[in-house]
Chain A
Amino acid sequence: MAEAVAKTGEYDIFNHQMYMLPDAAEAGVVIPLDEYAARGKPSFDDIPKTLRNEMYYTGKLYSFFTDGDQTILALRQDLIELAPARKAFKAKFGWEPGCPDTWKRWEELASFFNGKKGQNFYGITLDKDLYGAQEYRSREFGYRWWQGRYASKNKLMLDRNMKPLISGPEGIEATREMVALTTYMPKDIFGWGTPQNYPFFAQGNSFSIVAFPSIVGYAQKAQGTLVSGKVRSCVVPGTIVGGKLIRRSVQPAGTNYMVSRYSKHPEAAYWFLQWFTGPEVGNRAIADPDGFWDPFRPSHLRDPRIAAKYGEQFLHVTLENAKIAVPMLPLQGNREYLDALDVNLQEAFHGRITPEEAMKRTARAWDKTTDDIGRTRQMEAWRHVVEAGSYFDAEGY
């Protein structure tokens, strides 16, 4: 955002996190690309709808999407396959252990598949403590995961007047679930980012993790991994709302490309991006053995290079997750809204306030931010988000 002040024109293209788009667009640092797109006719058709929406702000095309970073659940298949464990689990919870449908079932798995060092776990002796679950819980991270859970309750975060809905029963439930699951996590996880979470899972310390999709590849081939070939990818769990199972992943980071307002060659920048992010080059980048872009287009499934890199099972799952991905509140000032959520969730995670109180405080802060930014402007932007279906058919508008 420094470019909004500096206006150097040194950049033609910005590569940023997806959720930066609304602020960048409002600041006028990036330009709408519709005019060019009308001529260029880029192919977005096979990008899942909600991810495609993330390229737009208030109905205008601003950015190119390159990296499907939606969350995924990874499980230790080797532990699930222990026959006595399966039997005991089924007897206890009444379903065959495997990829869980609901958050509740993930918690059941986590409560079962854990143990202490030296313990005999259904035929194998644990050589270290085994934790049931891992999920990002630290400052700057926890709130991102929360949004997927909340979305699976099929509720919008705001109504048409930008009144927060998060303090309702759905928001409290999502928070409570996250608090409950921490029972099965390493205690220190409240301070961990990726550099701690990834190796912790890859070194066989935990049974399951909801993380960025790259966790699967990391567990498979990172230097020092102990779980290579033992990990199964799962579609993220969901919630049963009105008899229907609703699963939602969240797009916690992911990168996009935008064209600078101060670029001397905006059109050239556009054409470059269309070529660069289009199926041909984009797929090559995703297939690059050292690449970090994650797959998101269904056509990625048909690309043998990508299939070879990731394995079919993971690919199917992550593309399924791409179809159900929700964005991180694509509104101006989203990082301010979400920071309030972040801080209050932290307090709730640490048991310093109740989930109800956390959500109530967050809602109050959101209202204040909305008034400060300008309610009508935000209502307009929010209408675009809801109408485009970025949160599917979530209720509350």
Chain B
Amino acid sequence: MTRRRAAFGVFRHVVLSAWTLIVLFPVAWMVLTSFKDAGDWVSWPTRWFPFLDFEPTLLNYRQIFYIGGTTASGELRREASEQAYAIWKGVVDSGVIVTIASLASLVLGAALAYAISRFRTGGRNYPYTILTVRMLPPIVIAIPMLIYYTSLPEFFRAVFNVRVAFFDTYHGLILLYIVTTLPYVIWMMLAFIDAVPRELEHAARLMGATRLTTLRVVVFPLVASGMAVTLLFVFILNWSEFLLALTLTQPNVLTLPVLLNKFQSAVEGRLYGPQAAIGTVVTLPVVVFGLLIQKHLVKGFSFGMIRR
């Protein structure tokens, strides 16, 4: 028995290590590329090892973190077309939009999930029908969305006599990101809230707490880890979103995926080095957050589809 268990342990580590290598290979390549100069990005033969095959450089990182745009001396660029190194703008825009959208979506979705769980709000089928929102491919509504967003200001001016823009604004994208991630928030939160015994709420209510207080003091703290998990998932989805941002912003708002896609140069085509450097830099915080809530992640991701 113990020998079989030991054998299983070895087998487990072999398989998991194999997958680890598969996962890490492209990631390592990205990190490696971020330390390469232009001629080493794509090369014959492949340049694998720093110092042996190629001279590692911090040029890419210096380029993307350079504050203030173009350098007059050209020291930090390989050619003039590389001037648009507004990574800070991309980070800030993406950060603001994604954070607000994810949090708002979480609060709205969690509240609705509570209502669904406790009062069957929206009827039995509501959680299912709302999934259709997520199934809509964004390209299907991209152009109508563009028309809609650009004609909304006229509507607001005519009806409310206020000037609001939606196209190329933070809130325009935020609203859309809230809606497109709500279905997942509702599903995930529904699972967590369903698992909270009602007796606790009844007790709180008996002691005179209002419904809102009960929600705030009893329910939400109990599902806090679930909320963190949901937040991470929704954050990742929004953080990666490309098509809608590409269609509905420009030139004032610039999210990271759109910015990354712009990293092309007239001479070299794609600027793999700076792209890899940005990729490395912006992935790290997400990974760290994931690591911090890992314990909850591996428990809370079953969308409530488990008999407890």
The answer to whether A and B come from one shared complex is yes
Nearest chain B residue, comparing its CB with the CB of A200: B44
* Known interface pairs A6-B150, A292-B265; A199-B78 also in contact (CB < 8 Å): no
Given known contacts A195-B268, A292-B265, is B43 in contact with A203 (CB within 8 Å)?
yes
Alpha-carbon distance between A292 and B77 when the two chains are bound, in angstroms: 12
Question: Does A10 contact B168, Cβ atoms closer than 8 Å?
Answer: yes
> How many angstroms from the CA of A202 to the CA of B80 in the assembled complex?
20
Bound complex: CA A202 to CA B39 (Å): 9
Q: Are A289 and B247 in contact (CB under 8 A)?
A: no
Query: If A5-B146, A5-B147, A223-B37 touch, does A291 touch B80 (CB 8 Å cutoff)?
Result: yes
A214 in complex: contacting residue of B250, B252, B267, CB < 8 Å: B267
A interface residues, how many (CB within 8 angstroms):
31
A196-232 interface code vs B (CB 8 A; 1 in, 0 out): 1011101101000000001001100011110000000
Give the chain A neighbours of B220 by CB distance below 8 A.
none
Q: Which residue from chain B places its CB closest to the CB of A186 in the assembled complex? A: B44
Chain B residue nearest in CB terms to A255: B266
A5 partner residues in chain B, CB cutoff 8 A: 143, 146-147, 150
For residues 62 through 87 of chain A, which have their beta carbon under 8 Å from a beta carbon of chain B? none
Interface string of B146-177 (1 = CB under 8 A from A): 11011000000000000000011000000000
| A214→B78 CA distance, assembly (Å) | 14
Determine how close the nearest CB of chain B comes to the CB of A276; give it in whole angstroms: 14
Is the CB of A2 closer than 8 A to any CB of chain B? Answer: yes
Tell me which residues from 56 to 90 in chain B have a Cβ below 8 Å from any Cβ of chain A.
Answer: 74, 77-81
Q: How far is the CA of A8 from the CA of B169 in the complex (A)?
A: 12
Decide if B270 is an interface residue (CB 8 Å cutoff): yes
Give every chain A residue within 8 A of B270 (Cβ-Cβ): 193-195
| Bound: A354/B254 CA distance, A | 45
Q: Does A128 contact B (CB under 8 A)?
A: yes
Q: Are A2 and B146 in contact (CB under 8 A)?
A: yes
B281 within 8 A of A: no
Q: Does A11 contact B (CB under 8 A)?
A: yes
Residues of B within 8 A of A225 (CB): 39
Residues of A within 8 A of B77 (CB): 290
| Least CB distance, A100 to chain B, in whole angstroms | 25
Shortest B165–chain A CB gap in Å is 8
B251 within 8 A of A: yes
Contact A8 B150 (CB under 8 A): yes
Pair B43/A290 contact, Cβ less than 8 Å? no
Q: Chain A's interface: helix, strand, loop or mixed, by majority?
A: loop
A2 to B246, CA, bound (A): 10
Whole-angstrom distance from the CB of B30 to the nearest CB of chain A? Answer: 15
Minimum Cβ distance to chain A for residue B4 (Å): 47
Q: How long is the Cα–Cα vector from A7 to B165 in the complex, in angstroms?
A: 12
Contact A199–B41 (Cβ < 8 Å): yes
- Selected contact of B42 from candidates A6, A199, A285, A289, CB within 8 Å: A199
Q: Which of A11, A128, A214 contacts B251 (CB 8 A)?
A: A11
Q: Is the CB of B74 within 8 A of A290?
A: yes
Interface assignment of A96: CB less than 8 Å from any CB of chain B:
no
**How far in angstroms is the closest Cβ of chain A from B129?**
30
B167: chain A residues at CB < 8 Å are: 6, 8
Kindly name the residue among B41, B79, B150, B250 whose own CB sees the greatest number of chain A CB atoms within 10 A.
Answer: B79
Determine whether A46 belongs to the interface, using a CB cutoff of 8 Å to chain B.
Answer: no
Contacts A6-B146, A10-B168, A290-B79 given; does A218 touch B267 at CB 8 Å: yes
Q: Report A156-211 residues with CB < 8 Å from chain B CB.
A: 193-196, 198-200, 202-203, 205
Give the CA-CA distance A6 to B143 in the complex, in Å: 10
Whether a CB of chain B sits under 8 angstroms from the CB of A288 is: yes
- The docked-state distance in angstroms from the alpha carbon of A128 to that of B43 is 13
Contacts known (A5-B146, A11-B251, A288-B80); A194 close to B44, Cβ less than 8 A: no
Q: Within the complex, what minimum Cβ distance (angstroms) separates B3 from chain A?
A: 49
CA of A367 to CA of B146 in the docked complex: distance in angstroms? 31
Q: CB-CB contacts of B258-297 with A at 8 A, as 1s and 0s? A: 0000000111111010000000000000000000000000
Given A8-B168, A10-B251, A214-B266; A292-B150 close (CB under 8 Å) = no
Whether B39 and A222, one on each chain, are in contact in the complex, defined by CB atoms closer than 8 angstroms, is yes
Taking CB atoms and an 8 Å cut-off, the chain B residues in 149-207 that contact chain A are 149-150, 167-168
Q: In chain A, what residue has the closest Cβ to B54?
A: A224
Contact with B along A1-23 (1 / 0, CB 8 A): 01001111011000000000000
A290 to B79, CA, bound (A): 4
Instruction: Please measure, in the bound complex, the distance between the C-alpha atom of A6 and the C-alpha atom of B154, giving whole angstroms.
Output: 12
Query: How far apart are B211's CB and chain A's nearest CB, in angstroms?
Result: 44
- Interface hits, B11-60 → A, CB 8 Å: 37-45
Distance between Cα atoms of A205 and B45 in the complex (Å): 10
CB-defined contacts of A11 to chain B, threshold 8 Å: 251
Q: A107-152: which residues lie under 8 A (CB-CB) from chain B?
A: 128
Let me know if B150 and A7 touch, CB within 8 A: yes
Partner of B267, one of A198, A200, A288: A198
Nearest opposing residue in chain A for B165, CB measure = A8
Q: Which of chain A's residues have a CB closer than 8 A to the CB of B74?
A: 289-290
Cα–Cα, bound, A2→B43 (Å) = 37
Chain A CB within 10 Å — which of B77, B80, B267 has the most?
Answer: B267
User: What's the nearest-Cβ distance from chain B to residue A253, in Å?
Assistant: 8
- What CA separation (Å) do A193 and B42 show in the bound complex? 12
The one of A205, A223, A292 that contacts B39, using a Cβ cutoff of 8 Å: A223
The complex places the Cα of A2 from the Cα of B168 at a distance, in Å, of 11
Shortest A194–chain B CB gap in Å is: 3
A222–B146 touching, CB < 8 Å: no
Of B39, B40, B77, chain A has the most CB atoms within 10 Å of the CB of B39
Given contacts A198-B268, A218-B267, A292-B265, contact A223 B38 (CB under 8 A): yes
A309 shortest CB reach to chain B, Å: 12
- Since A128-B45, A222-B268, A223-B39 are in contact, a sample of 4 more A-B pairs with Cβ atoms closer than 8 Å, ordered by chain A residue number, is A195-B41, A195-B272, A203-B39, A292-B80
22 contacts between A and B (CB under 8 A): A5-B147, A6-B150, A8-B150, A128-B45, A193-B270, A194-B267, A194-B268, A195-B268, A195-B272, A196-B42, A198-B268, A199-B39, A199-B41, A199-B42, A199-B44, A218-B267, A222-B38, A223-B38, A224-B37, A285-B80, A291-B80, A292-B266
The 6 closest A-B pairs by CB, nearest first: A224-B39, A194-B269, A292-B266, A195-B269, A223-B39, A290-B80
